[in-house]
Amino acid sequence: MKKPIDMDTLLVQLDRLKLTAIRDQLDTLLDEAARSKMTLREALSFLVTREIARRDERRISMSSKLAQFPFVRELDSFDFEAQPSLDPGQLRDLATCRWIAHGDAVLFLGPPGTGKTHLAVALGREAIRQNYSVQFVTAATLVAMLAKAHADGALDKQLTILSRPKLLIIDELGYLPFEANAAHLFFQLVSRRYEKGAMLLTSNRSVGEWGSVFGDPVVATAILDRLLHHSTVITIRGDSYRLREKRRSGLLQKAGSTLETNSTATQ
């Protein structure tokens, strides 16, 4: 005669194997398997699928926290009709993350409120789903980190840390002009990651204005030379999405775009 299964022992065994999703929901899962009249194979696959789903969920949530996104946004919630200057197919292509595997760069250029950070976060979250490490940082924070490390004689260490994530997202380049030496520090980061780690940059300035953003046209050219070598440049035109509702209700006049038009893609 078969010995009845001691559920406590089973729970300890599941714990030992770190099958925590199965352990936590054992009764519910087994009831469901019985109710659906699953074969043993189906039941095993059902349990394992649940365990994997929980692990993926945990990994994504942990990696998203580590990435330090400013908010949660997805490509699905992006209203492409409100932003006709964007090609949804091109964004879907970027969401495959092939460019990340190749260590390429993506630049989103456009006036404030046009969805640059939204798209950057959405692509960053997609990258995490596909198991790439991601770090999000604003240009101002990044430059402050590099300047501090430089002053402390720890620049090399900081550059190594910033070279680790497979995708580095640098948001809001150009909102603040760089201080002296910052352009050079930024150049060192770009050189370190060049052709190794992917970068996604957002800026409210067109590439032609980067000389004044960096305060040094020679360094700006050297930075752009590397960034644009294997890159996709997406220029978003149009008005702020944030102000759209207000404008609709007549609170605001239609504002003109301040960003110069630019090429939409280079390869």
Q: Can you name the residues that pair with 110 across neighbouring β-strands?
A: none
Q: What's the closest the beta carbon of residue 115 comes to ligand ADP, in angstroms?
A: 3
Does the footprint of ligand ADP cover residue 115 (CB under 6 A)?
yes
Q: Are 178 and 138 in contact (CB under 8 A)?
A: no
User: 29 or 110: whose CB is closer to ligand ADP?
Assistant: 110
Q: Residue 214 and residue 173: Cα distance in Å, rounded?
A: 9
* Cα atoms in the Cβ-side hemisphere of radius 13 Å centred on 254: 4
Does the footprint of Mg ion cover residue 83 (CB under 5 A)?
no
Does the footprint of ligand ADP cover residue 83 (CB under 6 A)?
yes
Q: What's the closest the beta carbon of residue 206 comes to ligand ADP, in angstroms?
A: 14
Q: How many CB atoms lie within 10 A of CB 36?
A: 10
Does the footprint of ligand ADP cover residue 73 (CB under 6 A)?
yes
Please name the residue ranges forming H helices in the chain. 7-16, 20-24, 26-35, 40-67, 88-94, 98-102, 116-129, 139-151, 155-163, 182-193, 210-214, 217-229, 244-248
User: 64 or 158: whose CB is closer to Mg ion?
Assistant: 64
- Among Mg ion, ligand ADP, none, residue 187 binds (CB under 5-8 Å by kind): none
User: 181 or 240: whose CB is closer to ligand ADP?
Assistant: 240
CB proximity list for 221: less than 8 A, separation 6 or greater: 211
Q: Please give the residue whose beta carbon sits closest to Mg ion in the complex.
A: 117
User: 175 or 194: whose CB is closer to Mg ion?
Assistant: 175
Does the footprint of Mg ion cover residue 117 (CB under 5 A)?
yes
Does the footprint of Mg ion cover residue 203 (CB under 5 A)?
no
Task: Enumerate residues 241-260 that contact ligand ADP by CB under 6 A.
Answer: 241-242
Q: Residue 235 and residue 209: Cα distance in Å, rounded?
A: 14
Q: Which residues sit at the interface with ligand ADP, rule CB under 6 A?
A: 73, 78-79, 82-83, 110, 112-118, 241-242
Q: Which residues sit at the interface with Mg ion, rule CB under 5 A?
A: 117
